[in-house]
A = this chain, B = another copy of it.
Amino acid sequence: MPKSNNHSITRFQKQLNFIIEIDKIKTIIRQTLLMDSSKQENDAEHSWHMAVSLFILDEYANEKDLDLIKAVKMALIHDVVEIDAGDTFAYDKKAHEDKEEREKKAAERIFGLLLDDVRAEYIALWEEFELGETPEAKYVGAIDRFMPVLHNCITKGKQWEKHGVTADMVLERNKPIEDGSQFLWDEVTRMVEVAKKDGYLL
């Protein structure tokens, strides 16, 4: 991008550098298929779908009076670290061993592109999401887990079958949904029952 003599451009240039860097998550591919099964989705698509869905479903959050600005920012940037760290498949136990370390380094580099004040805010947001202890982190975490379950139900378990994922594995992996939304967790257990009955989840 062009430089300028205007002092505020330095600030703007840093903001643009971040906006330009995160374009890369449009090429980070997840295991989840689009609902029409035409391709695997990427992190930008997933983050967008989460952000819309958290507004549509917010009545089901366990905690009322969520800070929705914080929640939506969290959803929008929660996967930015995968630009460096790559997507870690939910059911890949080996890859989860060093996931935390890889993602922490990535957060430092990528949010490090931002200005001091905003960098601190975004690193804190990302860490809060990862820790999953606040009402917003629990709810956004629930939506993050709920989405691929929904995709798998719509595509009749194509990716579950491909990766040998069983009903017990789905329930174990997604149990934290309960901390963010009891309602969504009850729905997931029901969806798993239907998937078993209809034969697309073992």
Residues of A at under 8 Å CB distance from B? 1-2, 4, 12, 15-16, 18-20, 22-24, 26-27, 34-36, 38, 41-42, 44-45, 47-49, 51-53, 55-57, 60, 68-69, 72-73, 76-77, 114, 118, 150-151, 153-154, 183, 187, 190-191, 194
Contacts and interface: CB of A to CB of B under 8 A. Distances in A.
Main secondary structure of the interface of A (DSSP, over half): helix
A72 to B, nearest CB: 6
A77 B49 CA distance: 10
B34 A26 contact: yes
A18 B73 CA distance: 22
A26 B42 CA distance: 9
Given A16-B150, A20-B154, A42-B45, 10 more contacts: A19-B52, A19-B56, A26-B34, A26-B45, A27-B34, A45-B48, A48-B51, A51-B72, A52-B76, A52-B77
Given A44-B48, A49-B19, A56 B26 contact: no
